[in-house]
């Protein structure tokens, strides 16, 4: 019984340790795709905002909506050079998951 109790407490503490991770912030990343790592589902973009790192990695999940002109497309459309607007959630800029990725025309220079 004591063994079970200790095991239960360890399990409880493990679950509880995940609690702070639930507080996610919203991020918007705008920029050009430099890499899409298919197996890792990791999208790298070169950002335009000087207050963000020059390059950021964003996780693409099964729930991420990827669209172009309002229509859903697959992650295969995220080729290097494509301009994207990404809304993501994460604890900080280095650990975010994309909620949506919109492929848009690059701004006029």
Partner 1 sequence: MLLAACAPAILEAHGVTGRDAAWLRSIDGPAIGPLAYLGAKHMVTGYDHLLFLVGVVFFLYKPRHILLYVSLFTIGHSVTLLLGAMGGLHANPHLVDAVIGLSVVYKGFENVGGFARLGRWAPDSRVAVLVFGLVHGLGLATKLQDLQLSRNGLFVNIVSFNVGVEIGQVIALSIVLAALVWWRRTGRFDRDAFAVNAFLMAAGFVLIGYQLDGYFEEPARPQVVQAAAANGSAAAPTERASYASDTTQIELAPYDYVEYKYKLAKGAAMVYSWRASAAVIHDFHGAPDGGGDADEISLEKGTKAGASGTLTAAFDGMHGWYWENPGGSPITITVSSAGFYTRAVESRSNRTTQIHEVKVTK
What are the two backbone dihedrals, phi and then psi, of residue 28, each rounded to the nearest 5 degrees? -125, 125
DSSP 84: E
Binding residues with partner 1: total (CB under 8 A)? 35
Span near partner 1 by CB under 8 A; candidates 19-27, 33-41, 64-72, 73-81: 19-27
Q: Is 16 helix (H, G, I), strand (E, B) or coil?
A: helix
E runs forming strands in 1-109: 25-37, 42-47, 55-59, 65-68, 71-72, 83-92, 95-103
Q: Binding string to partner 1 for residues 49 to 88, with x set by CB under 8 A, is what?
A: x-xx--------------------------------x---
The residues that touch partner 1, with contacts defined as CB under 8 A, are 1-2, 4-5, 8-9, 11-13, 15-25, 27-28, 30, 48-49, 51-52, 85, 93, 102, 104-108
């Amino acid at each position: 019984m004591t063994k079970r109790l200790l095991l239960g407490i360890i399990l409880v503490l493990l679950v509880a340790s995940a609690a702070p991770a639930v507080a996610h912030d919203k991020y918007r990343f705008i920029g050009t795709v430099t890499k899409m790592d298919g197996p890792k589902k990791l999208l790298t973009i070169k950002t335009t905002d000087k207050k963000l790192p020059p390059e950021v990695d964003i996780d693409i999940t099964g729930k991420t909506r990827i669209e172009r002109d309002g229509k859903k497309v697959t992650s295969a459309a995220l080729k290097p050079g494509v301009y994207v607007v990404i809304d993501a959630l994460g604890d900080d800029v280095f650990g975010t998951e994309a909620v949506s990725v919109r492929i848009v025309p690059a701004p006029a220079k």
